[in-house]
Amino acid sequence: MIPAAPLPQPLSPSRPRWQQAWREAVRDPRELLAMLGLEALADRVSDQAALQFPLRVPRGFVARMQHGDPRDPLLRQVLPLDDELRAAPGFGLDAVGDSLARTGPGVIQKYRGRALLVATGSCAVNCRYCFRRHFPYAEETAARDGWHEAVELIRADAGIDEVILSGGDPLSLATPKLAELTAALAGIPHIRRLRIHSRLPVVLPERIDDALLGWLSALPWPVAIVVHANHANEFDAHVDAALARLRDAGAALLNQAVLLRGVNDSVDALAALSERGYAAGVLPYYLHQLDRVQGVAHYEVADDEARALHAALAARLSGYLVPKLVREVPGDPGKRPL
Ligand SMILES: *Cc1c(COP(=O)(O)O)cnc(C)c1O
Ligand code: SF4
């Protein structure tokens, strides 16, 4: 581990400190490699891949990478490589059928009872394996018109009992913007649960500040927060503290991970992820097979191997530490178990 850089002071007292940490994210692949003592890897970095989907990684996340390790599982999730430019059959642009399931601006409804809001297109980290690398999400978010159309769609459909904030990363929105949404939703009697899908508690734990916790603990519904960590090394004391604060505010914490070649494609890595997450108060939820979008084929683990890994994991761990191994298939009524 390399020591975390000291957190810079906020520019103005009214601007939350996490936004400063957000802006300080590393964006230059060569700077990232220099921080890790990996200058020799520079010729494997793809400028073209970085042009398509820029490198972006918060400094606190870099601090959890192993200095001098070219195969670090966190580095592998964020470094643009030439591998991304190779075309692979079956890897397209909209692998999960989002454009068909859209019911309004930033509203995606695929499954019974649940409306997913694309709250924003922004993320604090750019994960190379993400479908977001191709999607014009930022252009059409549910927050765009002050949430108006999204809220009216939900109000009009009494079958919706759960609202899922997703993205992008919904916690990249400022807290008052989130509060604007939940104030509008609070008047809709058929909503029973709120869910938040966010990688920020893991990649930018500074985001879990007093204002966010105040908002969260005052919400009128049970709240589940589904975080996203793929490897045990993504947790550190800052992340543990952020997660503990979220639990104290009443949120149930779950983790979804993606099965990724070279990151977590071993029983040891997957077991350590479940155990480390649980130590931080997070139960495993899903282990996703990769969405087959262009540029990510080098991360794929074949279905047979995925099933074998999952069976070995189930033979090793307590039942509640075994995530469900699933794939998203367009048209299905839910995530499909493998
Ligand atoms: C994955 C997903 C959900 C949530 O599914 P769960 O199985 O309840 O976690 C909801 N809506 C959409 C559009 C999704 O892709
Ligand atoms: S944080 Fe989530 S949505 Fe954002 S790039 Fe990573 S995987 Fe994709």
**What global pTM score does this model have?**
0.94
Tell me, rounded to whole angstroms, the distance of Cα 332 from its chain centroid: 22
Low-confidence ranges of the chain (pLDDT < 50): 1
Tell me, rounded to whole angstroms, the distance of Cα 3 from its chain centroid: 24
pLDDT of residue 12: 57
What is the identity of the amino acid at 178? Answer: L
Question: Which domains, from first to last, does the chain contain?
Answer: 98-337 (3.20.20.70)
pLDDT of residue 111: 96
Atom of ligand 2 nearest to the CA of 197: 2
CB 59 within 8 A of CB 206: no
DSSP per-residue string spanning 252-274: EEEEEEE--TTTT-SHHHHHHHH
Instruction: Check if 128 has its Cβ closer than 6 Å to any atom of ligand 2.
Output: no
pLDDT of residue 92: 82
Q: Rounded to the nearest whole angstrom, what is the distance from the C-alpha of residue 162 to the centroid of ligand 1? A: 10
What element of type H or E holds 311? helix 303-316
- Residue 234: exposed, middle, or buried by beta-carbon count in 10 A (0-12, 13-18, 19+)? buried
Helix (H, G, I), strand (E, B) or coil at 283: strand
pLDDT of residue 136: 52
- The DSSP bridge partners found for residue 166 are 118
Q: Rounded to the nearest whole angstrom, what is the distance from the C-alpha of residue 268 to the centroid of ligand 2? A: 24
Separation of alpha carbons 94 and 71, rounded Å: 29
